[in-house]
Amino acid sequence: MKGDFSRVTFDVSKHFSRVLMQQGRVQLDADWNEQTAILLHYLRSVTADLIGPHAGPSENLGFEIIVDPTQILSPPLSTEEKKQLEDLLAQSKPPILIGKGDYYIDGILVENEKFVAYSGQPDYPLPIDTKLADGIYLLYVDVWERHITYLEAPSIREIALGGPDTATRAKVLWQIKIEVAASGLDRNKLENEWSEWIKKWQPEYRGLLKAQAKQGEKKSTEVCITSPEANYRGAENQLYRVEIHQSGENGLATFKWSRDNGSVVTGLKLIDKQLTVDSVRGLTIGKWLELTNDGQELRGELGTLVKIKSIDGDTLSLNIDNQPAPKVAVPKGEIWPTKARLWEAEPKIITEKNNEWEILADGVQIQFQQPAAAKNQYRSGDYWLIPVRVATGDVEWPGPVGNPEALPPQGVQHHYAPLALIKIASDKVAFVDDFRWKIKPLRQRV
């Protein structure tokens, strides 16, 4: 979540059941957000414990993979509804539809309110002419939470305030994806192998990070004054974010970082080598902007990073002399870029060194470490958050001073469920098997 937060305090291992507000005390964003996280953890854990890793209600079982409206497994459709599905199927390339209804994945409610074409998914903007070669394919759903600001959903901004934004949102996203499968795949084999499929999309070892700012012997008793012996030399309390940019192994993957949790973002227009932005708040000459749009982010494509050369009102010049203005290939009808996010520096190659520290700024240091069991497979978008505080001149990080713990990424955590197996031959799609599970309501008539 790239929001303007003071810190993120929820920790499942602490077993907190609720946050209790006290009278006459300062109200903090972290406390409110932790209360929500606690409730979500309990609700999703109960749901997953009761129904298993994935299943849907028998009376509203969603996410059916449909290749022939006459053989639909969902509740009976009227003649008019079947005709609508036939028309929608004819427009979809490949000719695959996704059924409406609900499904639970790792306790998360995933909802689809209407039949949609595979190439017309609301949160997975694919080219409308997606082509698949002949073969056997597994269709599965990928679910995660995305941070939503007024740039992605303008309706959450209260226009009566005249400009400032307020709270942001977290949205459950689902995307139906396709993976080549072996001809011998069936339900039993998939059940046995499913954990291995998941490891392909979400590796078990996605990086280990240590963070510190070594503390001197003397500490200031003033909360707004940096101790003269402190290694953190910043003048503000901040939430550093270290995020993986380019996926890959040690020596190939890259990371970027921000002092403000990557929360400085603005809408924009790119003309030649100049950007016209909605707001210059937080933007500084010499820092880097990641140019993206919604479609690019939802497809998991890397943003384009450019350096700010100058700022004149709401116009920014880019430091790309003797180079053409950046361009990105996007599906027809998409505008690129539409937003810019601020980072402190260009992406840097990850080098795992267990004894050497890399300084980000003001004495804040990080160290990528290799696990003993296997190699790390870094994944784009995964991140670590590092709260730094003026009062202590230090970072908030588990472990003793001088020997911080090596932690896995705090997110983004994806959740997966298999849906169906299909066969494509000569551009024709045949349904092979349905891999969904369903649950019946535990109710009885009195």
* pLDDT tens by residue, the chain, 446 residues: 899 999 999 999 999 999 999 999 999 999 999 999 999 999 999 999 999 999 999 989 999 999 987 778 776 777 888 888 888 888 888 889 999 999 999 999 999 999 999 989 999 998 776 778 889 999 999 999 999 999 999 999 888 988 788 899 999 999 999 999 988 899 999 999 999 999 999 999 999 999 999 655 544 445 454 444 557 777 789 999 999 999 999 999 999 999 999 999 999 998 888 899 999 999 999 999 999 999 999 999 999 999 999 999 999 998 887 777 788 888 888 999 999 999 999 999 999 988 889 999 999 999 999 888 889 999 999 999 999 999 888 999 999 888 999 999 998 999 999 999 999 998 789 999 999 999 988 876 77
Instruction: Record the tokens describing residue 259, joined without a space.
Output: 């002092």
State the burial class of residue 417 (Cβ atoms within 10 Å of its Cβ: 0-12, 13-18, 19+): buried
pTM: 0.91
Residue 218's pLDDT is 46
Q: Which of 101, 137, 74, 88 is nearest to 431 (CA)?
A: 137
SS (H, E, C) 290-307: EEECHHHHHCCCCCEEEE
Residue-wise pLDDT tens digits, 247-262: 999 999 999 999 999 9
Residue-wise pLDDT tens digits, 350-363: 999 888 899 999 99
The Cβ-side half-sphere exposure at 434, using a 13 Å CA radius, reads 18
Side by side, the strands of the sheet bearing 135-148 are 169-180, 135-148, 415-425, 428-434
What is the C-alpha separation between 213 and 230, in angstroms, rounded? 8
* Per-domain boundaries in the chain: 12-51, 54-202+414-439, 203-259+344-412, 269-276+287-339
